[in-house]
Structure 1
Amino acid sequence: MNYALRFPLDIQCFGEGGEPTPTEPPTPSPVPGIDYEQLATVISKRTTGTEDKVLQGYFKSQGLSQEQANEAMTQYKTTQATKQQEALQSQQNIIKENAELKARIQKSQIDAKIAELATTLGVQQDKLPFLNKLVDSSNAAKEDGTLNDENIKASIETVLKTFPDFKSSSQSGGFQQIGGNGNQGSGGNAIDDALDSAFGIKRK
């Protein structure tokens, strides 16, 4: 028995693939603003595939054309490279500043120790600035950063062998002139003048 079809059928709709005849693709919308921070997060979470594939997939999901995606990819890579360079530079600056701060602190500690040990050796207070400049402090600290008192004392004694007048008269076996200006004779004045001139120190 033949049955007439009441409604015409679109045979092509039931063909292989079951898809209707493709239509013209919609015109791409303008390039949206790309959130590069979010994109970096997406990249970091992917464990498979290349970075370019992930980028292409992300830009496609944003509705970008191939040309727009290529441009956005270039901008992303440039931005990431700049951020990495800035982060590296910032890290290097922090390391440098920490090293400089550590060196200043250690120098201050060495200066204080030189003054302490020099005083016990009878060095005059007004000679400490000169002594501090002459003492070799290259071996003043141990590998762990603590001070090596023995090395510092030995360096002070080496300077005092060359400049015994750094010590007070009671320590050096000399005598203090009585009366006058209270200096250690003309020899003491000559040494003071020479040191003042060498280190650029002006006395009042």
Structure 2
Amino acid sequence: MPKTTPANALAAMEDGTLLALVGQGDENAMGAIFDRYSRVVYSVALRVLRDPSAAEDVLQEVFMQIWRKPESMVVNRATMGAWLAVVARNRSIDTLRRQKPSDSVEEVVLPSGVDVAADAERTHMMERARAVMGRMPVEQRKTLEMAFFDGLTHSEIADTTGDPLVTVKSRIRTALLLLRKAMTA
């Protein structure tokens, strides 16, 4: 018959000691581990599964694993709470993967917050803008990129490049006119 440690002595014990006692068949030690970590395991499983019944099943599986194979937990590698949270998450994901869809594929409506037509138009416009920018002279393209992508002012661009301020302004204006012409064509 397995020995049991008094419950009041278990509360102060470290996780490694409790696992060693579980390995010897100590039910009270298993109860102490369950009392410490069942909330963590259940909340992780519930967050992943969104189903209280399935989360309870994962909770039971995780603690049954500890009871059957306490040596599977390596205490020096991670804290028991962290290890159990990862195990609960992985078991929950496995549970989701095993579930068969209840609706046929034809009946499933997938809501989308994406406007596909607008995305396609935006992509087309970006490709046109890239093509126009690729044909610009290097100095003009770099000046435009510094203004729009780096957020530099005309004066900061002039200081960075060493070009006169009027040249920087002229390059940006010419580049914007080229882009506008390409976008409206």
Q: Which has the larger radius of gyration?
A: 1
TM (normalized to structure 2)? 0.29
Normalising by structure 1, report the TM-score. Answer: 0.27
